[in-house]
Structure 1
Amino acid sequence: MRKLILCAFAVIAFATVEAQDFKLGVSAALPMGDSGDISSFGINLDANYLWGVSDEFSVGLAAGYHHYFGKDYEDSFGGVTYTYEAEDAGFLPIGAAARFNASEEFTIGLDLGYGIGISPDGNDGGFYYAPKVQYSVSESLDIVLAYKGVSLDGGSFDALSLGLEFGL
């Protein structure tokens, strides 16, 4: 029954499409929480294709590549401190996107899907989420602040990102 309702919603949503919008984004990311212990900095490349359901609401698809640079970290065991070098982490997020135009300048958005683990070995990926707020500088340029995360077994890989999104 749930699948039938979702299919009906999708048909209604895409049948009322008013406009299409393709955007590319690039952002710098600051790893937070546990991911901040092993990563120093990140770079995100994102793309989304949105269909306008109404003047205020758009839905579509989102994908990208997020790369986080590993850093040295210390851990103590038995009174001895060990220094480790963390490997870089990479994710390929693929999912659905929704945007709500709160005003002429501000948009509130959410991307949900799966973040495929690219690196290091053993990174299986997990559920991907990215709530965001966008400020429109011009018709084809937005400043985007987002909290991006991938839920992993035993934790999550989270980062706060700030970047630009270009409408094409």
Structure 2
Amino acid sequence: MKKVILLVLAITSFSIANAQVGEGTNWLKIGVHGGVPVGDVSDISNFALGFDLKYQFLNTESFAIGASTGYTNYFGETEGLIEYSDFGIIPLAGLFRYYPTENFFLGADLGYGFLTEGDETGGFYYRPEVGYHNDSWNIFAYYQGLSVDNFSPASVGVGVNYNIIQGK
């Protein structure tokens, strides 16, 4: 819980610092993503599907920060008589982006991910992304992972976000 509180304080601090700069463009991003489970979870799930909610502050021409949340559902599969349950991840993360060109970006969402099922409550959440961006939408490829003591679900996939421009 202390990690979550520290993460929220860090995101809030970035937000306040950004509000004082008064430059760049802010976006509210709403999107969907889908992927194939890899690693620990590939034996019990065959598909991951989710939605994203992000707020991005574009402070300079090349760098951006923000906050990210959403939900990813890992669909359980059936093997013979064994049926695995669905489970989900709810991230609370900071968003970091680098734009080497106007429309191309590299970035990562880093923070804490809450598990919706099982004995573990959550752990370190990470989601590196690479994609194409314009003022209306983004399309990206990602690797999403969660580091938990005995269970580390991950997926590789693609997503699309619709950008709602908030202001310049």
Give the alignment's TM-score, normalised by structure 1. Answer: 0.82
Q: What SS class does the counterpart of residue 152 from structure 2 fall into? A: strand
State how far apart, in whole Å, the 1-side matches of 2:129 and 2:91 are.
Answer: 15
What is the match of residue 144 of structure 1? 140
Alignment check: 8 A CA contact 1:70 1:89 kept: yes
How many pairs align?
A: 153
Greater C-alpha Rg = 1
Question: Aligned pair 1:156/2:152, yes or no?
Answer: yes
1:101 to 99, 102, 108: 99
Q: Which has the higher contact order (CA 8 A, sep 6+)?
A: 2
State how far apart, in whole Å, the 2-side matches of 1:73 and 1:151 are.
Answer: 25
Unpaired runs of 5+ residues, structure 1, are: 75-82
State how far apart, in whole Å, the 1-side matches of 2:79 and 2:125 are.
Answer: 26
State how far apart, in whole Å, the 1-side matches of 2:60 and 2:86 are.
Answer: 41
State how far apart, in whole Å, the 2-side matches of 1:94 and 1:56 are.
Answer: 24
Residues 70-90 of structure 1: CA deviation (Å, up to 9, x unaligned): 01247xxxxxxxx52111011
Unpaired runs of 5+ residues, structure 2, are: 1-5
What is the match of residue 44 of structure 2? 38
Q: Cα RMSD between the aligned structures?
A: 2.1
In percent, how many aligned pairs have the same letter? Answer: 32
What is the match of residue 21 of structure 2? 16
Alignment check: 8 A CA contact 1:37 1:73 kept: no
Identify, as 1 or 2, the structure richer in strand: 1
Alignment check: 8 A CA contact 1:144 1:163 kept: yes
